[in-house]
Structure 1
Amino acid sequence: MPSSIPKSAPVLLAAAAVGVLGPLFEEMNGQAGQIISVTLSAGWAYAAVAYFAGMVCTTKRGATALGVVSLWVSVVAYYVTKAAQGDYQRADLSDTSGKTEYFAWGELLQMIGLWCVVACLLGAVCAVAGNFSRTGPYRFPSQLLLPLVIVAETTLRLAYPAPLQDQLAVTTWQVTRVAAIVAVVALAVMTVWRRNVPDRTS
């Protein structure tokens, strides 16, 4: 147990940071804050949390557990932060003056529960891929998972933009997609080169 603490603690801390910083930077002025918010609030950022959780584990079972738990931490951190920002304050319709508000605990817990269930699947898949990316016969396809998730998500976001999505968000998605494609190509080239090294040295 003590030996697992140094491995899991930074992962869980990073998971909490992803959940908290996304909505925090959303309320900050300036392009840098918007870019950070768009990036950390993306689905692939959460996939990356579970993926890297799997990378620090030596067993598939440990990777699965840490991947799921790390996403639970991210989900709870995200929605608690959103709640603290007032996103779950609702007007009491029984008050005709409209001045009375209440906290929508049901909505908050429903969203946390929903995404924690999703995290059980997403966290397990991404964490196992992260674990397999270290070494073994499935290393290359496992390494491709995260950049391919990024390409898929950014392509969808660019094809179906949100109603209030501004140009900075669009540019962020475009740059992120290009970076992911470059990563895919680089991984493919490195894999081919590694496989040919024994032939060149023989």
Structure 2
Amino acid sequence: MDDRLSNHAGLNDSAPNDRVVGVDEAGRGPLAGPVCAAAVILDPANNPLGINDSKQLSAPRRERLACEIKASALAWAVTFVEVAEIDRINILQAALLAMRKALEALSVAPTLALIDGNLCPSGLCCPAQAVVRGDQTSIAIGAASILAKVARDQAMQELDQRHPGYGFAQHKGYGTKAHLEALDRLGPCCEHRRSFAPVRACLARVEGAA
């Protein structure tokens, strides 16, 4: 376990530690694709070594750790909220919804949820605590960040096969120069978030040229 990560992250001492769940999301910033969330209840006696914020790990290391986390965790779940829902309720609410769905999908009922960020979803099945930069300070949230990132990257690779030309497998939907150029050249596909300004601007140009 990384020395910077804690099993508790400011946890309420009255909560049984063996059923604390870490929750994180991936994919709030991209212009395309779903937002993903993961929830993980780690086994305190069997934490995989090297869990860290997913953004600090190489893709192969994340994938290996994701397999180890799934094999050793007491419970885990990964859920998605798709583009149509993102555009309907906005990306913040979609990310919170994905986190709530991940908690509800767990096979073990948690006693406390540690949520990465400064907001907790409403209507949760257990008490919750928001942890700013939690993926850097809580091993449970770090594990959730890895599962969410790996699952979303895999989803974007699948979307790349269905919608060739945009480079989803490379940039994972983020607004890179190559993605913006492809967006201008091809126009948005059904996986682009119309509620995001660069996609709206592209649509306006396409409609103006029609």
TM-score bracket, normalised by the shorter chain, equals under 0.3
Q: Which has the higher contact order (CA 8 A, sep 6+)?
A: 2
TM-score (norm 2): 0.24
Max radius of gyration: which structure? 1
TM-score (norm 1): 0.24
